[in-house]
């Protein structure tokens, strides 16, 4: 659980700083797609360039991921469900599935 929590903190930091090396290091070596509400990004470079830099920065002035109050539910050895819906915040943060 601590390893997953550390990954979440590292992801929040990488989103905030937009550091390419830190952001890309968080993705597995597999070609994992990132699926947003309107698009699917199929490789690490596309996730970084088109989603983080191109998409988020074009739409939002700033981004802060709220990770206080996060709950981690281990599904199996390779999957965990991250739930931040109970955090005391005015922003809605969706539940996220993390796979190894």
Contact indicator for 45, 32 with CB cutoff of 8 Å: no
pTM for the predicted model, two decimal places: 0.62
As a whole number of angstroms, the distance between CA 72 and CA 14 comes to 20
- What's the pLDDT at 86? 56
Q: Tell me what the mean pLDDT of segment 65-74 comes to.
A: 76
pLDDT in tens, 7-57: 888 888 888 888 889 888 887 656 666 666 677 777 788 778 877 777 666
As a whole number of angstroms, the distance between CA 41 and CA 97 comes to 16
Host domain of residue 85: 2-99
Domain count, the chain: 1
What CATH number did the domain enclosing 10 receive? Answer: 3.10.450.50
Q: Count CB atoms within 10 A of the CB of residue 22.
A: 14
């Amino acid at each position: 659980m601590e390893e997953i929590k550390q990954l979440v903190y590292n992801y929040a930091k990488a989103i905030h700083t937009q550091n390419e090396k830190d952001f890309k290091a968080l993705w597995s070596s597999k070609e994992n797609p990132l699926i947003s509400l309107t698009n699917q990004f199929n490789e690490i470079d596309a996730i970084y360039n088109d989603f983080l830099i191109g998409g988020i920065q074009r739409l939002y002035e700033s981004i802060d991921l709220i990770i206080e109050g996060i709950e981690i539910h281990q599904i199996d050895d390779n999957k965990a469900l991250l739930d931040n819906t109970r955090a005391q915040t005015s922003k809605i943060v969706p539940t996220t599935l993390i796979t190894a």
